[in-house]
Every structure is written in C-alpha cells, then in structure tokens.
C-alpha cells in the first residue's frame, strides 16, 4: 500500500480525473470505499435550510438515491468554502456574489443537458452559470407589539437606529448599506451615502450588528431591538413559525434579492449536483418553497394561493418600486464595501 501522502495524492487525482470525464467523481470515491452517491449543499441556515431538507433533500434527491449533507453557514463562509480543494457540490448564494464569481469562471456552465427544467425559468432570470432558486426583497421587520408605530420606511428605521433601537444582520451587509443610501434619499447608483450613514452610527456608538439573520430575528422577537432589515421571505417564515415579528414593505420600495444555485468547477459530483439544481426548479418544489420559506417562484408555470402570495409576495405597484443593485456596479465596489463592513464596522 502506498504511503499516506501518496494515497491522498492518488485520491485527489482520481476525483479530479473523474470530474473531467463528465461528473463521474462518485465512481472515483467508490473505488476508495466511500459512499458512491452523496452531495454537499452549502446554504443559509434557519427556515430556508429546513425547507430545502424537507422539500428537496428528503424528496426528489432521496428518491434518486442521492444523500444530501447540508453545510450551513453565512454567505462569507460559503464563499471561503469555494476555495477548498474539494468545495461543496452545490452552493446557494446571492445573485450579486454569484455574478462576481462567474466572472472568474468559478462555476460549471448550466445547460439543458444537466438541468432539463432550465427552459421553464422566467424570462430575464436565466444565466449561464447557475439557476435562480427564488426571489424576495429586503424590507423592514419589527416586533409584533409595535402595531401602529413600527417603522414604515428605511428613513424611519435608520432614525430608530440612531437611538440604538434597530439592529442589522451581517448576512445583509451590502443590502444594509443600500438601505441606508435610500434612507438618505439617494439612488443606488452610488452607495457612498449609505456607507457614511453607517459609519456615523458606529462613531456615535449606536450601531447594533448581529452575526447572522437568525441572531437578528431573535433580537427582534425578544424585544432586544425594535426593528431591523430582513428579507421578506425570512420574516414571513418567522411569522409562519409563530415568532412575534411583522414585516412592512418600506415606502421607498424594497431592495430586490435573488438566490442563485451554482455548481463549483471543482465539485466532486457535478452530474448529481446538476440534478439537484433541476430539483430546485420543480414546480412543486418552487410552490412549496414559496409557502414554507417565502421565496417567490422563478419559473413561469407556478401558481400560488392568493393568501400565500399576499403574505410573502409583492403587489404590482411594489414590484414596480423594487430597487435593484446593479451587478456591474457591485462587481466594481462590492468588495470594498464588504471590507468596510467586516473591517471598519465590526
């Protein structure tokens, strides 16, 4: 038997070679006595991960004989995981991060050969590097007891933050800066006003930052803070689970957010990973993800019950008022803003 370092080198070579042959990585692993069909899926935690497990992992993927291991962490940690020798097989990211990584050819091309449901994706949402799993928007979330006096705009939320009564999740770093920009009455073609607003909160000792969405949700639910910024999908899931929180679409308009599912170039199981993306686009999965996790469908052939749509979706007027962060702008300034959040604010 070869020495341990040589065996590791052989294993890496076998997996890499199998991947080059079109996704036969599981055969390489099987040759070394490992389970032949399993995938690692990197995603956000909380209600989103629970819905994925129930609707996809324990549904079509289990039926196909593919075991799923969820790797749950912040988006920053998922981005770091892409640099591992063997990254997750599927990674779920914001559309902003997915686009920036696609420019560095970080993901395998998505085609109808691997994702048969790709033609069902709604016009304007299809990309060559991933599939749009769901859509929502950043809104204001507050404690249920604030009925009649909860912030109804980004401006009033940041006024509360100036008094130490509002909190922010690091999971939404760029979106927090964007909301601060809108709160100052400025468009999203330059986020410097938002950066300055948050820097002022920090200097005044009033900035309250939580490590992730669930931590912020807990703070709002317990009254530690009165309000914050959150995806409407996550706020909807919290309300559905009985947490004492409510959400409002701000008068300035929500900030659009889309979840992308991508397969890293170095994924060990690219074929099965594409099957996972295909399962995410199933009409049944899309409809039930809307009901359970609050994410609007991204395919054209899904109809939701009116009560579900009213609770987690956006009206025609609200959709027209959605603010979209430009992908090219975020590619240019996003890394600097992320560094500002991580190094200067925290």
Residue 10 pLDDT > 50 = no
In the chain, % helix, strand, coil (3-state, to 5) comes to 50, 15, 35
pLDDT band (50, 70, 90) for residue 34: low
Quick one: pLDDT at residue 35? 57
Please give the Cα distance from 145 to 327 (Å, whole number): 38
Distances (CA, A) of 290 to 5, 259, 311: 47, 13, 10
DSSP class of residue 296 equals: B
Tokens coding 229:
């910024």
Task: Sort strands 90-94 and 131-143 into parallel, antiparallel or unpaired.
Answer: unpaired
Burial of residue 266 (CB within 10 Å: 0-12, 13-18, 19+) is: buried
CATH architecture of 136-257+315-345: 3-Layer(aba) Sandwich (3.40)
State the Cα angle at 132 between 126 and 138, rounded to 5°.
Answer: 125
Quick one: pLDDT at residue 33? 55
Residue 3 pLDDT > 90 = no
Region 308-327: mean pLDDT is: 95
CA atoms within 13 A on the CB side of 148: 0
pLDDT more than 70, % of the chain: 90
Q: Is residue 267 a contact partner of residue 89, using CB atoms and an 8 Å limit?
A: yes
Q: pLDDT per residue over 224-259, tens digit each? A: 999 999 999 999 999 999 999 999 999 999 999 999
Q: CATH code for 4-133+269-308?
A: 3.40.190.10
Distances (CA, A) of 184 to 198, 225, 251: 11, 22, 13
Residue 311 pLDDT > 90 = yes
Quick one: pLDDT at residue 150? 85
Q: pLDDT per residue over 172-196, tens digit each? A: 999 999 999 999 999 999 999 999 9
The mean pLDDT of the chain is 91
| CATH topology identical between 4-133+269-308 and 136-257+315-345 | yes
Residue where the block lists tokens 């609200």: 318
Please give the Cα distance from 37 to 145 (Å, whole number): 48
Q: Is residue 246 a contact partner of residue 139, using CB atoms and an 8 Å limit?
A: no
**Domain map (residue ranges) of the chain:** 4-133+269-308, 136-257+315-345
Quick one: pLDDT at residue 149? 81
Q: pLDDT per residue over 43-68, tens digit each? A: 999 999 999 999 999 999 999 999 99
Q: pLDDT per residue over 209-231, tens digit each? A: 999 999 999 999 999 999 999 99
Tokens coding 247:
């959400």
């Amino acid at each position: 038997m070869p020495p341990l370092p040589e065996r590791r080198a052989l294993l890496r070579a076998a997996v890499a070679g199998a991947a080059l042959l079109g996704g036969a990585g599981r055969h390489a692993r099987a040759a070394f006595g490992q389970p032949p069909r399993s995938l690692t899926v990197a995603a956000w935690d909380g209600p989103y991960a629970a819905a994925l497990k129930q609707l996809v992992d324990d549904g079509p993927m289990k039926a196909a004989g593919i075991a799923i291991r969820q790797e749950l962490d912040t988006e920053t940690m998922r981005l770091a995981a892409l640099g591992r020798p063997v990254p997750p097989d599927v990674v779920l990211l914001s559309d902003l991060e997915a686009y920036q990584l696609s420019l560095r050819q970080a993901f395998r091309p998505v085609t109808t050969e691997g994702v048969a449901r790709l033609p069902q994706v709604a016009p304007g949402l299809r990309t060559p590097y991933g599939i749009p799993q769901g859509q929502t928007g950043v809104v204001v979330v507050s404690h249920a007891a604030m009925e009649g006096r909860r912030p109804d705009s980004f401006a009033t939320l940041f006024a509360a933050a100036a008094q130490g009564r509002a909190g922010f999740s690091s999971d939404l770093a760029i979106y927090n800066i964007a909301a601060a920009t809108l709160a100052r009455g400025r468009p999203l073609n330059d986020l410097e006003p938002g950066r300055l607003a948050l820097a002022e909160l920090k200097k005044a000792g009033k900035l309250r930052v939580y490590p992730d969405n669930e931590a912020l949700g807990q703070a709002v639910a317990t009254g530690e803070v009165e309000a914050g910024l959150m995806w409407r999908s996550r706020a909807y899931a919290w309300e559905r689970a009985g947490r004492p929180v409510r959400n409002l679409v701000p008068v300035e308009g929500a900030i659009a957010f889309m979840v992308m599912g991508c397969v890293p170039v170095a994924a060990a199981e690219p074929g099965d990973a594409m099957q996972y993306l295909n399962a995410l686009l199933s009409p049944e999965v899309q409809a039930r993800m809307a009901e359970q996790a609050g994410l609007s469908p991204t395919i054209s052939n899904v109809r939701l019950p009116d009560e579900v749509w009213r609770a987690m979706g956006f009206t025609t007027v609200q959709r027209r008022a959605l603010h979209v962060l430009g992908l090219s702008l975020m590619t240019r300034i996003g890394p600097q803003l992320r560094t500002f959040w991580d190094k200067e604010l925290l």
